Every structure is written in C-alpha cells, then in structure tokens.
Amino acid sequence: MATEKKYLLCLLLFALLFSLWNLGAAPLMEWDESRNGVNAIEMLENGDYFNLYYGGMPDDWNVKPPLFIWMVLVSFEFLGQNAFALRLPSAIASVFSIFWIFQLIRLYRSTHFAFLVGLVLLSARGFLGPHVGRNGDYDALLVCFLLGGIYYFLRYLDFKFSKGIYWAALFWALAFWVKGPAVFIIFPGLVLYVLGRGYFFSLLKDLRLWLSISLFLSIIGSWVVAIHFYGATFTSETYEGSNAIQRIFLNDVVARFTDPNFDQSIAPHSKDYGFFFTYLDARFNLWAYLFYAALLLLLITVIKSASNFSSQIQKHPLLFFSCCLWISTALFLTFASTKHHWYMAPVLPFICITMIYGFRVYWKQTRYLFYPLLLLTLSWQFYQFSNPASPTNTSQFFQKTLSHQGPIYISPPLPKQDELLYLHFYATNVYYINSLSELENDNRAKLLFTSKNQEGEIKDKKKNWKKNGQIENHLFWKKQKEGE
C-alpha cells in the first residue's frame, strides 16, 4: 500500500507539472475557449448565473449548462481575467482525471500498470492538448466526471460496493451539468459491458439501480426546471428551438449528429470513415502505431483461445470494458455527421489501457521499445508546453492600445471571439452599443471599436473621433479632447 501511494503521488506531481506549466502562455484559441471566457466575464458582470451571454445578449449558440462557466468565473474572481485563469479549471480537472484512472486500473491491475497508463496519457495531445486539458474548454472537466462515475460504477458492478451506483449517478449528473447530453457518449459501452459480463438481468432487478437513475434524472432535471422558469427566450431562427432546453437537444444532439450541413467547417469530412485512425494519428502521437501493434498481439492471443472466449472476458474484465468503451464510441462518431477529435477524449484512457495490455502480454520483449518512446513523448510534450506559439499581433496590439485607457465601446458586428475576449482582458470595461448615436450623451466614451464599414459614418458625424488602429476588418477610434 505504501508503494502504491508513492506511485500515485509521483504520478499526480507529474500531472500537476504538465497541466500547469506555462499554462497561460499560448495565445487564446478561437471558438470555444474564447467564447467560454466571454460567457464567464459577462456572467460576472450581469449577475445572471443560469443564462450564458455573449456580446451583451443571451448566447443562442452556446446553450450548455453553466457548471464549467461557473468554475471559470470563480477562477477569474481570484486570479484576474487572463488566459491562465481561463484554463485553470481544465488543468485541475486533468489532474483529477489522472487520479481517477489510476484508482480505476488498480481495481484490476498492478500499480505499475496504472502508473504507465497515467504517464502515456500525460504524453498524449488528446489528453493535454487542444480542447482538453490545457484549454478553457468543457472536455477536460467532462472527462474528469465521467471517469469518476466509471470508477464507482465498476466498484458497484464488479466489486459489490453497493453505494457505488449512487456515486456514479452523481458524477455523471455533474458531467451533464458540464456539457449536457455529451455525458451519454459512454453509455453504449457500459451497456455492452453489462451484457458481456452477464449482469443485465440481475442489474434490472436491483432497486439501487432505479434509485440511482432517479438521482441522475433529478439532478439533470434541476437544470431543466431552472431554464424553464429563468431561461432566456431566443428569437433568432438560425438554430432550432426557442430556449436552451430545446436547442441543446434539437441542435446540439439531433442536428449535430444527423445533419451533414450542421458544421460547415467539417461538412466535407462528415463521411470520413477513417475518423478513428485520423484521430489517433493527430491526438495519440507515436503511440498510435504501438496501439495497432498491441491490438495485433491481443488479436493473436484471442485467436489462440477462441474456444474459451467467454472465460477470457471474465479473466480480463478491464480489457473487455476498455474495448467496449472505445469501440462503441469510435463506431458512433465514425457514422455521425459531425465529429471532432475531442469527442473521443472520454475514451482515450481506455485506448491507453488496451495498448498497455497488449504490450504486457510480451513485456520482456517490448519494454525496450516502450520506455524510450515514453521518455521521448513526455519530453516532446513538455518541450511544446515550454515553447508555445508567440503572442498574436492582435493580443499585443490590444494590450498596448487598451491598457489603462478606460472603457471601450463596441459597435456591431462583433469581432472574432478571441479578439472579443482580449478586449475584455485588457480594457477597463467593455460596453456594447447598437448604434453610434448612443455615444452622444455618454461622457465616459473614450475608446470605440467598430467595423471598417462604419469608417465613413464616423468621419462624417463624429468629428472628434480619431482612428487609432486597425485589426483585420475592425477599427479602433479614440475620442479627442477639445482643441486637439
């Protein structure tokens, strides 16, 4: 037990280092990360803790439950509005994910096995990379809660820990509060495992299962009730549904996975039946090739014992569970209309487990390849964290232009999402206006950010405003004092 604690402590220290090192140095990512930051700042300013706002209006594009945004809000309150604070909740969630996967593996396998899986995860971009562990995005926290639930579910199912099913329900309900219906991505794999292990009918007879389902649904229902009574009503017809409840199911689930034109940026790839392999190549680094080799070794082992397959399932439940999870998820996303690499994040730990299983079959021969590759991938990962992309010209310009200059007023159309978040970071306050006439009686207005198309109108009607810079299709204006 003392050795196990030392391994776990060492692994968690590695996780802290890799998750927090240079966390705020990389430029903000466009889309989700930046939008989440704006959502949190506007929630902080307007005091509406159930509806997400963007550009001063209810956000009808991001309609997820607010748990992650709450965590970012708290981080901003204590650490200020900056990239490090935006990403900190995801980084901490990744450390807890390492804890959960270590504990989960220890239910079935050795401390050394769990330690190796944890290190491989830390070296993979699919765990600490874009949209996951080092970004201000939902997926790292989603993975953390899903893994916590899986740990307790397996303790309940395979180790007869009766309260485990309630803890699993709680963790999965929290996962819903993070990213809505994304929690259900693991459920087909769970059903396959229950069927394969012969638990199905006995599980249906267990009252605790139904009580835990009631707990799960009641926590989900608390969000539904809150939105029903306090949720914003959307007037835009760009997406289906008039409130967050309708949009999260009609738009984020039905349209996302059935409509080939849902996401124009990836529509050409919606029929990419090699999605799983491109995911491994992009997010599992060099480990992808060892994963294929490990699958081949496992396949050979299975063929040799084909006549005794059911006993192999009983003998290696963790391997069977892992395969149920990642195979079912990979198949679903392969045939879904919309697919992104980070959708696979919840099952990447189980891909790692499958790979390590394959190598452990021939460990004496494969360890001489495994350890150098582990050192190489960990070193490369840390090198990338230590040498992020340089600050963008946009962020540098905003910092120079806005620091200590007072509030800035933004006229529609809004800038890109990362630009808007940088404006929030560096300006004293950000105010949204619908027309330039709103500035006439506002003596606080010193800085203005407008579309380039409004340049003629400002020059004609706002003689005391001087152009102070340009970012792509938007212009900065500074109000001149009398006589300047």
> Which residue reads 């540098």 in tokens?
396
- How much of the chain, in percent, has pLDDT values that exceed 90? 64
- Predicted TM-score (pTM) of the model is 0.95
pLDDT digits (tens, 9 = 90+) for 126-170: 999 989 999 999 999 999 999 999 999 999 999 999 999 999 999
| Under 8 Å between Cβ of 43 and 66 | yes
484 pLDDT band, cuts 50/70/90, is low
Q: How far is CA 5 from the centre of its chain?
A: 29
Residue 135 neighbours by CB under 8 Å, 6+ apart: 29, 32, 33, 87, 90, 129
264 pLDDT band, cuts 50/70/90, is low
More confident residue, 484 or 123: 123
More confident residue, 451 or 442: 451
> Which residue reads 């397996």 in tokens?
154
pLDDT at 365: 76
E-assigned strand segments in 94-195: none
* pLDDT exceeds cutoff 80 at 481: no
In total, the chain counts a number of residues equal to 484
Task: Report residue 166 as tokens.
Answer: 């309630």
More confident residue, 90 or 1: 90
Question: 101-110, 194-203, 264-273, 446-455: which range is least confident on average?
Answer: 264-273
| Under 8 Å between Cβ of 346 and 146 | yes
* pLDDT exceeds cutoff 70 at 483: no
Q: Region 184-213: what's the mean pLDDT?
A: 96
CA-angle at 263, arms to 259 and 267, nearest 5°: 75
Q: Region 395-424: what's the mean pLDDT?
A: 87
Task: Report residue 411 as tokens.
Answer: 């006229």
Cα(145)–Cα(173) distance, integer angstroms: 9
| Under 8 Å between Cβ of 279 and 131 | no
Mean model confidence pLDDT for the chain: 90
